[in-house]
Structure 1
Amino acid sequence: MKFVLKMPLASQNNKGSCFWCIKAMKWVPVLFIMTIVAWSYYAYVVKLCFLTVDSILSQILYLIFYHLSLSMFLWAYWQTIFTEIGRVPLKYKIPDSDHEQLLRAESPEEQRHILEEFSKNLPNANVNINGAVRYCDKCRCIKPDRAHHCSVCGECVLKMDHHCPWVNNCVSFTNYKFFILFLGYALLYCLYVALTALPYFIAFWNGDLQGIGRFHILFLFFVAVMFGISLISLFCYHCYLVSENRTTLEAFRAPIFRTGEDKHGFSLGRYDNFCEVFGDNPRIWFLPVKSSLGNGIEFPLNLHQQRTYRSMDSTQNRLEANIG
């Protein structure tokens, strides 16, 4: 007689409740940012522009450029949050029969042979630190070049940069352009608010600004400066990564090719590196719309790696022909 251990209904419900609580908690950083933005809108539009700025022309100009910067910032932020992550295609998934062979394999060499045999027609240039095929045992798939497993998302992600709690999403191939634009427009928003609020902050400091709204202006200036300082270093760092055609993960550990580590393996020159992320149409470079080049699976290599890749492939083909 077989006994099947079943979890009590109450425990199952508790497990489900915990799962949804954790998912809800992941939105807290996003809600925090949106709360700050909503308050800054009230402080800037109502307390600064309508109740403090005297000149009608200044009010109009302030509000026009403020809403432009805010709209671009929120558009890029929305795209970063709600763009689906790049998932590994089915052709990289290990079939059940091959997975059973992996489990039955008696040595790492046998496992390596099984994975190499399965992946021989896949366009992979990267290998792991041991020179073997990059394999994810959690997803049971061969990892495409530049893909990594995200423990938060629970799956392998194409050209993964990092998982960002402030957007509750993985920053990867599909939304990396949006993420950089989000950083850039958020920085622009903070700088614009800080610079336009600066004369009124000075007036408050000198005691020339009266009314309860002056405290909103005071905190508005400090919050804009604080967030601006934190954003400028992050934005500049990712601009550097784009220029070098690297991800954050590749900056910590260079991608490994058949010839060894090469931090410049995917670098095509600064302009081409930029176009790989932002596309080849200058009219939409700075709009949060999809324009990145490629499919997130295959990436062009620099000239050195191209030559090495081709020469090693031709050598392997000759060896197989001789063995045959």
Structure 2
Amino acid sequence: MRNYEKAKKCVKKLRLEWVLVLAEIALTGWTYYVYVWLMCYQTLQDRVEVSILLSVYHLLFILKVWCFLKTILTPRIPVPPEFHFDEKTWNQIELDSSLQQQTKVFLGVKTTTISNKTLNYCYICGNVKPDRCHHCSRCGTCVLRMDHHCPWVNRCVGFHNHKFFFLLIHYTFTYSMFLVITCTGTLPRIWRRDWVGNLINNEEIGRTLRNTSAAFMLKARSSLSEIPTAELTANATSLTVSKSLIPAALAISASAPSSSSSSSTAEAAAAASTASSRTSLVDDAGLSPVFIQVVAVIFIYLVIMISLVPLLTFHNQLLDGNITTLEVYRPVSLPNCKGNSEIFDLGSVSANHKQIMGSQLWLWPFPVFTSLGDGVHYPVQG
């Protein structure tokens, strides 16, 4: 029975909820390969340009990955022990309004729910919910200052990682914009390298084929006394570039005496093989893997960048008003007041920002925990 329960828990951990996280990790790794290795190292020639692009890219890459890992791996801060009551004790508190009020004052709970309950109890976790605390059915636990459950990180965004998530969406947007702009600027050069470069190679291969075919035919047929050398020279110089030259040359070499032209035949076969492979390269010239993958990077991150615009706008507005996503849809209130999502708005954008980002401005851009408070008690209006 115990083994069954353990197996059941393992299966739950490997649910489809992790697919988005793994897909995001795979996308980041593939993007790094395309941008750093294929585009910067193998395509661009200007060392100064490459150095600048790689420096900016790695800065954004490190900040994005750092925020991503902090959002996922930062452990949740548990509800303090004083908020825990067994169900029997809670039933006694719930039936006695005066005892419930005393408990509320003791715990420092300031808000009430829409149903005007003095306290809100979680029967699953066995604790009274502090202000701004909600139970997440996905995570199966109560989360302090819960904002929402994010499927892209398979974690709840709350007091413990709200700053990291806020930075993550901003750095992801900046990272996506940087990729779209720089890859789009590099795309014409990749196209010229693939197409114009192939045209130049085509001309060079044509000259090689003419010289190789003419020289071989002169050498192969020189032993045939019935054909004058002058006629051979005139015919050889009039040859044009085509795939039919190669099999024709091989056929002529086969008709020549083996004792006098064995070395000529070997050299000609090697030259013909090289020319044939080069000719096939010219015929198959098209979009290179580098070009296709860079276009894919541009398309994918353009979609990501556009989709992040409303999310960034929404979360910036929430930060300005010191509001969580759940408080927008589930307003709370002070005793004897109507439900209001702006109860925790301190009246100043700067003061509201400091609640999440911290009081030290120089630490705002970095995913280090600087949020104010203990996750349980919050200042309210007035």
Relative to the length of structure 1, the TM-score reads: 0.83
Mapped to 1, the partners of 2:339 and 2:35 lie a distance apart of: 50
Structure 1 residue 42: Cα displacement: 0.4
Deviation track 1:148-189 (CA, whole Å, cap 9, x = no partner) reads: 011112111100001112112110011000000011111111
**Aligned with 1:60 (options 51, 72, 92):** 51
User: Residues 16 and 204 (structure 1 numbering): CA distance in 2 closer, same or farther, change over 3 Å?
Assistant: same
- When structure 1 is superposed on structure 2, of 111-120 and 238-247 the one drifting more is 111-120
* Structure 1 or 2: more helix by fraction: 2
**Aligned with 1:71 (options 59, 62, 71):** 62
Q: 8 Å contact 1:201–1:221 — kept in the other structure?
A: no
Structure 1 residue 96: Cα displacement: 6.0
**Aligned with 2:376 (options 268, 289, 297):** 297
Mapped to 2, the partners of 1:169 and 1:111 lie a distance apart of: 37
Residue 40 (structure 2) pairs with residue 22 (structure 1): no
Deviation track 1:22-45 (CA, whole Å, cap 9, x = no partner) reads: 202232221110000000000101
Mapped to 2, the partners of 1:91 and 1:160 lie a distance apart of: 19
Larger radius of gyration: 2
Structure 1 residue 80: Cα displacement: 0.5
Structure 1 residue 124: Cα displacement: 0.9
Identity across the alignment (%): 31
User: Residues 92 and 219 (structure 1 numbering): CA distance in 2 closer, same or farther, change over 3 Å?
Assistant: same
5+ residue gaps, structure 1: 1-8, 103-108, 304-324
Q: 8 Å contact 1:119–1:142 — kept in the other structure?
A: no
Mapped to 2, the partners of 1:55 and 1:43 lie a distance apart of: 18
Deviation track 1:73-128 (CA, whole Å, cap 9, x = no partner) reads: 001111101111232111011146514646xxxxxx72655543433311111112
5+ residue gaps, structure 2: 197-286
Q: 8 Å contact 1:87–1:157 — kept in the other structure?
A: yes
Match of 2:338 in 1: 260
Spell out the pairing of 1:2-13 with structure 2 (5 A cutoff). 9=1, 13=3
User: Residues 138 and 112 (structure 1 numbering): CA distance in 2 closer, same or farther, change over 3 Å?
Assistant: farther
Letter in 1 for 2:10: W
User: Residues 66 and 94 (structure 1 numbering): CA distance in 2 closer, same or farther, change over 3 Å?
Assistant: same
Match of 1:212 in 2: 289
Q: 8 Å contact 2:43–2:190 — kept in the other structure?
A: no
Match of 2:164 in 1: 178
User: Residues 65 and 98 (structure 1 numbering): CA distance in 2 closer, same or farther, change over 3 Å?
Assistant: same
Aligned to 1:256, the other structure's residue is in SS state coil
Structure 1 residue 214: Cα displacement: 0.8
- When structure 1 is superposed on structure 2, of 293-302 and 130-139 the one drifting more is 130-139
Mapped to 2, the partners of 1:17 and 1:230 lie a distance apart of: 38
Mapped to 2, the partners of 1:201 and 1:229 lie a distance apart of: 21
Tell me how large the CA RMSD over aligned residues is.
2.1
Letter in 2 for 1:66: Y
Mapped to 2, the partners of 1:27 and 1:236 lie a distance apart of: 26
Deviation track 1:45-82 (CA, whole Å, cap 9, x = no partner) reads: 11111122221111111101000000000011111011
Q: 8 Å contact 2:122–2:129 — kept in the other structure?
A: yes
Match of 1:88 in 2: 79
Structure 1 residue 15: Cα displacement: 4.2
User: Residues 272 and 44 (structure 1 numbering): CA distance in 2 closer, same or farther, change over 3 Å?
Assistant: same
Residue 301 (structure 2) pairs with residue 224 (structure 1): yes
Mapped to 1, the partners of 2:87 and 2:4 lie a distance apart of: 33
**Aligned with 2:144 (options 149, 152, 158):** 158
- When structure 1 is superposed on structure 2, of 249-258 and 178-187 the one drifting more is 249-258
Aligned residues: 287
Q: 8 Å contact 1:144–1:297 — kept in the other structure?
A: yes
